[in-house]
Structure 1
Amino acid sequence: MVAHEDWSALRAAETQRMLAACTRCGACFEACPMVPYARDARGTDAKAAVTGVLDVLSGGAGDAASRNWISVCTRSGSCNEACPEAVNPMLMLRLAKWQAQEGGVIPKRDAAETMSRVKVFARLSFTEKEQGEWL
């Protein structure tokens, strides 16, 4: 098991790597199948959404669209395949979610409630195969 200090250092190093490597191209946002389920994210400029996530990742509040995108991430990995810089956007969103919850930007209970609703809505539109792969 990784010690808390080691985990904190690894998390900080990975956060800095992502902040430096991400070009804010928006490819991850455009590839994400959960964007339609993220309140305020539909119709958002992809580059602005990524910029908001990076703001949250660095301790800021981001914007509503970015916070909602962070909240609905199901870690499908579609974003990783789309990223031209190998940033690992899936982990980027996960780290941003932890940062947002720790900083009170996204309350923990709201994130859980949002995820529950996302899964329900996803089941309504996903085939059984897609449900098995995504949920």
Structure 2
Amino acid sequence: MKTAPHADLAALRASETARMLAACTQCGACFDACPMIPYAPDAKGADPAQTVRGVLDVLTGGEGDAAARGWIAACTRSGSCNDACPEAVDPMFMLRLAKYRANETGMLPKRDAMEAMSRVKVFARLLFSEDEQRDWL
């Protein structure tokens, strides 16, 4: 007998959350590698290890802190964090799951169209050459 798709998703979330909690040493290397931190006002200048602890708190249903929520909201899934993680936690997925949880509980404010466009430009700067930035942005 097949299980409902939402049951499969809930089981995946639970198992991945447990795996991440067990594997993460909260070293903060993922935070340090993130190219979006300068664009996340609440996370800019925050303690990397404390911010990761906040993300893990959000992941498990807590509120985290302002820096963690700011980082979660700013994540563009660049993948830079995954390369930096010494424990292969998959911080990009960790942030995605935390964002899903934060959106479920209403912890993250809704974004307007202008803010979304600024995020697109920031992400484009990560991928475009200087010539492309000059021509397109």
- Whether TM exceeds 0.5 here: the answer is yes
RMSD over aligned Cα atoms: 2.4
2-structure distance, mates of 1:98, 1:89? 14
Secondary structure of the residue that 2:111 maps to in structure 1? helix
Match of 2:37 in 1: 35
Distance 1:23 1:10, change over 3 A: same
Q: Which runs of 4+ in 1 moved over 6 A?
A: none
Q: Counterpart of 2:88?
A: 86
Given that 1:71 and 1:115 are in contact with CA atoms closer than 8 Å, whether structure 2 keeps it comes out as no
Match of 2:26 among 21, 24, 27: 24
Aligned-residue offset at 1:110:
3.0
Distance 1:42 1:5 in 2: 37
Contact 1:71 1:111 in 2 (8 A): no
Q: Evaluate the alpha carbon distance shift between residue 127 and residue 83 of structure 1 in structure 2; reply closer, same or farther with a 3 A threshold.
A: closer
Equivalences for residues 65-104 of structure 1 within 5 A:
65-104=67-106
Unaligned runs of 5+ in 1: none
TM-score of the superposed pair, with normalisation by structure 2: 0.83
Kept after mapping to 2: 8 A contact 1:57/1:95? yes
Q: Deviations over 1:26-67 (max 9, x none)?
A: 000000000000112111110011011001001011111110
**Taking structure 1 as the reference length, what is the TM-score of the superposition?**
0.84
Q: Is the 8 A contact 2:54 2:68 kept in 1?
A: yes
Return closer, same or farther for 1:64/1:114 CA change in 2, 3 Å cut-off.
farther
Which one-letter code corresponds to 1:76 in the other structure?
Answer: S
